[in-house]
Amino acid sequence: MADITENKKLEERLLESEILIKIAQVANSSLELKEILDTITQTVVDDLKKDVCSIYLVKPEQKICAEATAGLKREVTGEVCFNMGEGVVGWVAKELQPLAVENIKNEPRLKDMPLAKAGDFLSTLAVPILRDNKAVGVITLQTREPYTYSQKEINLLTIISHNISAAIHNAMLYRNIKTQLDEVKIIHEIGKALTSILSMEKLLPYICEEVSKLFNARSCILRLLDADNLQIEASYGLSDKVKQAMNLRLGEGIAGWVAQTGNPLLVDDVSKMPENLRVPVIEATSVICVPIKIGERVIGTLGLYDKKDEWGIATFTQEDLNTLSTFASVSSIAIENARLYRTEVEKEKKILSLYWEVTQTKDYLESIIANSADAIIISDTDGQITSWNKGAEKIYGYAENEVLGKFFPMVPSFLIKDEKTFIEKIIQKDN
């Protein structure tokens, strides 16, 4: 009998070891966090012979929501949420201690969620997932029948929760590093692209679209300063009607403040801002806005509205603000290059326009001269003939090829000296 009991204990220890090895391998794998959590819940259900295992994670707004489950419908994930202190899950997250319930019918802290159908299961074991003495989530076990959880099972689930905590931490580190590398790579690629786009009409929308994608922002507005007015020159994620209503003067709104002071601004909650700094027309929760500068001169602003992540709308960080400032610096060079290019193109167009205007005038005058019945003669300042029309040929009897480059042939030789004196007086504007 003692041997049977000893063998049973040994089997239990082996099972626990196998489960922990499996969980550790999964937690330290290169899988995405969602896949890791899904695999852990399924492993726990299969190996511990329980009906349900679920993992809840704490969202930025301090709600705790189902992120992975085995034994419940997939729709539960992302849809079932508790406030801190609410229900068994919320209580465990707030109190930072496990809770084992043999029969939920006798548990006043239970909050039934229709989608999760918690009422279909009678026993619950919930253990907090901790990081730096704070709850980052909760892992739960459930059975359809009343069940008394042993201290060994509580300890085992606690160890599993530590593995999950490490997986969450590693996933966050990996995500942050990957995000930073992606940002550097994208800024580099955008920098190369920006220097090759010389059309302002193409450049500004390109900046807005790429920076929105880089930060996963809902919308972006690029304004350029014209005297005291901040005109929206390009945007992403906004309708034309909204854009028309959002032009600001220097000092007005968030962008006006940034342009006036030359300082970047991060707003966690727009609703808490003073009325004169609120975002007009569009509904935004979080905003970052930076100046676009050439040297120390502010030429405009670049603003992003409502960063999105897997939880929904997230808050921009100081790191986001620094990255956007870097992006704005790169963009400012491209904008200035595009401005100079546009100025040169406009100058060239004016020169070409003047050239064609002069050419047309010249052709018109030459046509008048050539076809006039009157003698029209053009000479240089030395009296050498440069133009001799048909009227002159008829009146004076000399063909054009006979007189070009010669002094006026119709002037008698004894008057040539006087004629030259008259030309000098004309040149000297002597009446």
Residues 83-117 have pLDDT tens digits of: 888 888 999 999 999 999 888 877 766 655 544 55
Residues 115 and 66 in one domain: yes
Question: Does residue 188 lie within any of the structural domains?
Answer: no
Q: What are phi and psi of 233, to 5 degrees?
A: -95, -25
Task: Give the span between the Cα atoms of 369 and 380, in whole angstroms.
Answer: 16
Question: Does residue 108 lie within any of the structural domains?
Answer: yes
Residues 276 and 414 in one domain: no
Task: Give the span between the Cα atoms of 314 and 322, in whole angstroms.
Answer: 17
> CA nearest 150: which of 198, 202, 115, 102?
102
**Whether residue 425 has pLDDT greater than 80:** yes
Task: Give the span between the Cα atoms of 352 and 349, in whole angstroms.
Answer: 5
Task: Give the span between the Cα atoms of 178 and 181, in whole angstroms.
Answer: 5
The pLDDT score that the predictor gives to residue 115 is 40
The pLDDT score that the predictor gives to residue 318 is 87
Contacts of 257 (CB under 8 A, 6+ apart): 251, 265, 277
Residues 165 and 226 in one domain: no
More confident residue, 119 or 50: 50
The answer for 278, left when phi > 0, alpha when psi is -120 to 50, beta otherwise, is beta
pLDDT digits (tens, 9 = 90+) for 35-46: 888 889 998 898
Report helix angle 33-48 to 151-196, nearest 10.
Answer: 160
- Structure token pair of residue 42: 């399924």
More confident residue, 96 or 184: 96
Segment (H or E) for 236: strand 229-236
> CA nearest 251: which of 301, 324, 315, 183?
301
Burial of 181 (0-12, 13-18, 19+ CB in 10 A): exposed
Q: What's the whole-number mean pLDDT along residues 397-411?
A: 83
Residues 202 and 165 in one domain: no
> CA nearest 387: which of 378, 398, 375?
378
Residues 254 and 139 in one domain: no
Please answer whether residues 55 and 68 qualify as being in contact, where contact means their C-beta atoms are separated by less than 8 angstroms.
yes
Question: Does residue 186 lie within any of the structural domains?
Answer: no
Q: Which long-range contacts (CB under 8 A, 24 or more apart) does 74-77 make?
A: 75/115, 76/115, 76/116
Q: Looking at residue 75, which CATH number applies to its domain? A: 3.30.450.40
- Structure token pair of residue 214: 């880089």
Question: Does residue 184 lie within any of the structural domains?
Answer: no
Question: Does residue 185 lie within any of the structural domains?
Answer: no
Residues 97 and 202 in one domain: no
Question: Does residue 308 lie within any of the structural domains?
Answer: yes
The pLDDT score that the predictor gives to residue 1 is 53
Please answer whether residues 120 and 147 qualify as being in contact, where contact means their C-beta atoms are separated by less than 8 angstroms.
no
- Average pLDDT over all residues of the chain: 81
Select from 140, 173, 206 the last residue of a domain: 173
> In percent, how much of the chain has pLDDT > 70?
87
Residues 219 and 333 in one domain: yes
> CA nearest 166: which of 146, 202, 137?
137
Q: What are phi and psi of 25, to 5 degrees?
A: -65, -45
Residues 129 and 206 in one domain: no
Residues 107 and 249 in one domain: no
Residues 339 and 387 in one domain: no
> CA nearest 112: which of 139, 89, 84?
89
Range of the domain at 397: 372-427
pLDDT digits (tens, 9 = 90+) for 240-298: 766 666 778 888 888 889 999 999 999 887 777 776 666 666 677 789 999 999 888 89
* Number of domain units in the chain: 3
- Structure token pair of residue 58: 């704490």
Contacts of 58 (CB under 8 A, 6+ apart): 64, 93, 135, 136, 137
Question: Does residue 290 lie within any of the structural domains?
Answer: yes
Select from 343, 363, 384 the last residue of a domain: 343
Task: Give the span between the Cα atoms of 364 and 419, in whole angstroms.
Answer: 30
Q: What's the whole-number mean pLDDT along residues 174-197?
A: 72
Report helix angle 318-371 to 151-196, nearest 10.
Answer: 20
More confident residue, 57 or 115: 57
Pairing mode, strands 248-249 and 217-226: unpaired
Residues 201 and 266 in one domain: yes
- Structure token pair of residue 179: 């995000």
Q: Looking at residue 407, which CATH number applies to its domain? A: 3.30.450.20
Question: Does residue 348 lie within any of the structural domains?
Answer: no
Residues 168 and 218 in one domain: no
**Whether residue 314 has pLDDT greater than 70:** yes
Task: Give the span between the Cα atoms of 220 and 205, in whole angstroms.
Answer: 10
Least confident of 223-232, 236-245, 249-258, 299-308: 236-245
The pLDDT score that the predictor gives to residue 95 is 92
| Three-state secondary structure call for residue 58 | strand
> CA nearest 201: which of 327, 353, 347, 341?
341
